[in-house]
Amino acid sequence: LTALVTFLCFVASRSHGAYTALAAMETVITALFFLLYLLKLDKKMSWLFWPLADIFNSVIAALFLLIVCVFAITFKTNNGTLAGGVFGLVLLVLCVVDAVLLFQKISLNGPRRRNTPAK
């Protein structure tokens, strides 16, 4: 939702295209990961370790959001750009928290836990 609000703020303020494109891209990617986990497609497409892909997405998004939102706040053209930059920084913090929590949850070398009890 924060990515969508950031996108809407940038669109409403007619901000620079890079601001809008980054917010739109993060909104779409987040929605796709949400659908992936909601429909349990990560279990069906086991050829990719999806939590690690999610961590990678969060880290890359946080780096881009840091750059773009600092520029949006620094060179604000109107209040919509400023609001989009602030919501973008909130999204940056959420991306970092997501990456840290997912990284703590997965184990790359440790034994895998079963989701269902063994028979």
Q: Where do the structural domains in the chain lie, given as residue ranges? A: 1-40, 45-109
Question: Quick one: pLDDT at residue 99?
Answer: 86
Helix, coil or strand: residue 109? coil
CB 12 within 8 A of CB 83: no
Task: Answer whether residue 110 shows pLDDT above 70.
Answer: no
What would the pLDDT profile of 43-87 be if each residue is shown by its tens digit?
A: 888 777 777 787 888 888 888 888 888 888 787 677 877 878 788
Find the mean pLDDT for residues 77-106: 83
Question: Quick one: pLDDT at residue 31?
Answer: 87
Task: Name 102's Cβ contacts closer than 8 Å, sequence gap at least 6.
Answer: 51, 54, 55, 58
